[in-house]
A = this chain, B = another copy of it.
Amino acid sequence: MKWTDLEDNWCPVARTLSVVGDRWTMLILRDCFLGKTRFEEFATSTGATRHIISARLKRLVDMGVLERNAYSERPKRYQYLLTEKGRELAPALIAFRDWGKKHLPVRRRAST
């Protein structure tokens, strides 16, 4: 079964995952909550390829989690902002942050 089929799953967790159940997607959302709004910011901050940033942003906009609006005409430049629907994902991000802080301490590199 492909993950896109999860959209119509009986389980609300599965349906949510069909939208945001992807590493890069969640990192983009983290960035949004940290105030980032632009393609370039997402690309450099997450470390994902522009390829993927592009696809993920499209899906998030399609699903109403982000909205894309022009912050400049000539040249046309767009930014991405959380919608109310998107902002309501905060509890999920917070849960992930707290769990990571508690259970996955940063490991030091061998060199230092």
Q: Which residues of A contact B (CB under 8 A)?
A: 1, 3, 5-8, 10-19, 21-24, 26-27, 30, 47-49, 64, 85, 88-89, 91-104, 106-107, 109
Contact = CB atoms under 8 A, between A and B. Distances in A.
Copies of this chain in the oligomer: 2
Contact of A12 (B10, B47, B104, B107): B104
Contact of A5 (B3, B47, B89): B47
A16 B106 contact: no
The 3 closest A-B pairs by CB, nearest first: A12-B100, A1-B47, A16-B100
Given A7-B104, A17-B96, A21-B23, 14 more contacts: A7-B107, A12-B104, A13-B27, A13-B30, A13-B97, A15-B100, A15-B106, A16-B99, A21-B21, A22-B22, A22-B23, A64-B103, A91-B98, A91-B99
